[in-house]
């Protein structure tokens, strides 16, 4: 009679390494530090910082997507969001739908087709935290919450970029409250485009986090920092308290349920 020694199979789905977590922290921290420097500089340094903010923010969110949800999620998220943004923005530039009649400044650097390369990466920076929040809060209305969140985020982004002459609109008629240089059609455009993108991502991307994956803290920090910097920047640096109040209230109302669920809700 022989005795066999049983050795359990090792779980190959390892957790996040310290090096990977540090890389995420550095990317996120760098994106925030660059945003802090934004109102303190001008000229060519400001242009370069503007581009760097988007690229480092996108890098941080793609990294978090990979470390939290896995390689398949991260790859599909990047490919779908970039392609969707590229197609939507190209249609917008050529037809004026759905955002209105607008154009981008050459100061935004490299282009792909007629679109600055940095623009789709701004969508990449935004989509992952919004999808994460939407999936946590609802099952049947992810697309609707996602579209509203994308539109709310843009209420901070557009006036800052228009003031810096990164893009401009030509329009007559209704404008966004406290933003006379931006048509109301832009907000509705973000709402509908955001619903389309988040619906597509929700239907395509895996929903379960990887075993041992990184927590959602980076997403929480990114959302909170966007709110804080948008409000503080418009009050103390850009002299636009109306935007701070209007955009801050809408952004807070949309993301407060997610943040409360993270702090006080289910794990």
pLDDT in tens, 37-58: 999 999 999 999 999 999 999 9
More confident residue, 15 or 25: 25
CB atoms within 10 A of CB 149: 28
Token pair for 142? 């992810």
H helix runs in the chain, sequence order: 18-37, 43-69, 71-95, 118-137, 142-163, 184-204, 217-232, 241-264
Is the separation of the CB atoms in 252 and 54 below 8 Å? no
**How distant, in Å, are the alpha carbons of 121, 237, 240, 246 from that of 231?**
23, 10, 9, 9
Q: Coil, strand, or helix at residue 13?
A: coil
Average pLDDT over residues 238-250: 98
Question: Could you give the CA distance from residue 125 to residue 261 in angstroms, rounded to a whole number?
Answer: 22
pLDDT at 7: 42
Cβ-count burial 14-42 (b if 16+ within 10 Å, e if not): eebeeeebeebbebbebbbebbeebeeee
- DSSP secondary structure letters along 235-256: IIIS--HHHHHHHHHHHHHHHH
Query: What digits encode the pLDDT tens for the residues 127-145?
Result: 999 999 999 999 999 999 9
CB 133 within 8 A of CB 258: yes
pLDDT band at 212 (very low <50, low <70, confident <90, very high): confident
């Amino acid at each position: 009679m022989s005795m066999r020694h049983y050795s359990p199979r090792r779980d190959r789905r390892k957790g996040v390494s310290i090096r990977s977590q540090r890389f995420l922290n550095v990317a996120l921290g760098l994106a925030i530090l660059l945003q802090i420097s934004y109102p303190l500089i001008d000229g060519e340094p400001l242009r370069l910082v503007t581009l760097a903010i988007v690229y480092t923010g996108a890098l941080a969110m793609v990294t978090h997507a990979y470390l939290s949800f896995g390689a398949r999620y991260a790859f599909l998220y990047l490919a779908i969001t970039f392609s969707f943004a590229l197609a939507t923005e190209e249609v917008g530039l050529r037809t004026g739908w759905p955002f209105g009649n607008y154009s981008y400044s050459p100061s935004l650097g490299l282009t792909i087709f007629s679109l600055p390369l940095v623009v789709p990466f701004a969508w990449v920076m935004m989509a992952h935290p919004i999808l994460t929040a939407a999936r946590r809060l609802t099952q049947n209305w992810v697309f609707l919450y996602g579209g509203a969140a994308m539109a709310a985020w843009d209420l901070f982004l557009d006036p800052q970029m228009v003031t810096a002459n990164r893009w401009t609109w030509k329009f007559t008629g209704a404008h966004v409250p406290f933003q006379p240089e931006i048509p109301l059609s832009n907000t509705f455009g973000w709402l509908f485009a955001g619903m389309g993108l988040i619906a597509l991502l929700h239907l395509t991307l895996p929903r379960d986090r990887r075993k041992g994956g990184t927590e959602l803290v980076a997403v929480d920090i990114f959302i909170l920092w966007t709110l804080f910097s948008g409000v503080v920047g418009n009050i103390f640096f850009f002299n636009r308290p109306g935007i701070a109040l209007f955009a801050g209230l809408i952004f807070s109302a949309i993301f407060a349920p997610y943040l409360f669920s993270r702090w006080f809700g289910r794990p």
